[in-house]
Amino acid sequence: MQRHLTRRFFIAGGLASWASAGLAAGRPYLLIPEGSRVSFTFTSNGTEQSGTVPIETTDIRIDTQNLTRSSAAVSADIRKVRSNLVFITQAIKSADLLDAANHPIVRFTSTRIRLGARGRISEGAQIDGQLTLRGVTQPVTLDAMLSRPAGTAVDDLSVLYIQLNGRLSRSAYGATGYAGLADDSVAIDIRAELRAQT
């Protein structure tokens, strides 16, 4: 499995740093479902295919006074997966791939966020965590994006957008079916819109 999924972690226009470890603390944020989803892309017979899975739950807590105590957890239900072709949707749910009947939930839980150069998240911070898929849990390291809506004040953290994306090996999670039809490598893109609890 490709354990290091890379992309820049950045908070637009204001929040200077964010870190995560073990215990959840800080201000909780609620998921806004219509602005949230997990998408994936893969190559099948030389053609790129894609699909989406709605996010079911999040537990995002940001402690701006003690950033090392912030945390993030996201889960989605594979039974609700959708792709651009019906037979691909059925194949994804099947026991040969993600086995949605027996392992419906995919989950990412952060364990630590490592800041980039000079302690800045805009310079290559990484999120360590655990990804559970098809009943298999593996450690992963992700880069991500965290931003505010355009035009909002620098200190207005009432609404945030979080993005986690990268690439993984499906066979590392036991999803080995259709090996002759679809590549082993799958790109994932998790996006969630969050509103601070009052």
Pick the CATH number of 4-196 from 3.10.20.30, 1.10.10.10, 2.40.128.110, 2.60.40.10: 2.40.128.110
More confident call, 124 vs 152: 152
* Domain boundaries along the sequence of the chain: 4-196
User: Can you point out the beta strands (E) in the chain?
Assistant: 4-5, 27-44, 47-53, 55-58, 60-62, 73-77, 82-83, 105-114, 126-133, 136-147, 159-169, 185-196
Q: Which pLDDT band, with edges at 50, 70 and 90, does 20 fall under?
A: very low
Q: Is it the case that residue 39 has pLDDT exceeding 60?
A: yes
H-run or E-run covering 93 = helix 86-93
Structure tokens at 138: 């593996």
What mean pLDDT value characterizes the chain? 80
Q: Which pLDDT band, with edges at 50, 70 and 90, does 77 fall under?
A: very high
Dump the DSSP string for 15-46: -----BBSS--SEEEEEEEEEEEEEEEEEETT
H-run or E-run covering 91 = helix 86-93
Q: Is it the case that residue 183 has pLDDT exceeding 80?
A: yes
> Do residues 61 and 26 lie in contact, with contact meaning Cβ atoms separated by under 8 Å?
yes
The per-residue pLDDT for 148 is 84
Q: Is it the case that residue 172 has pLDDT exceeding 80?
A: yes
* Phi-psi sector, 181: left (phi>0), alpha (psi -120 to 50), beta: alpha
Write the pLDDT tens digit of every residue in 84-132.
Answer: 889 999 999 999 999 999 999 999 999 987 776 665 555 567 788 999 9
Separation CA 111–CA 41 (nearest Å): 26
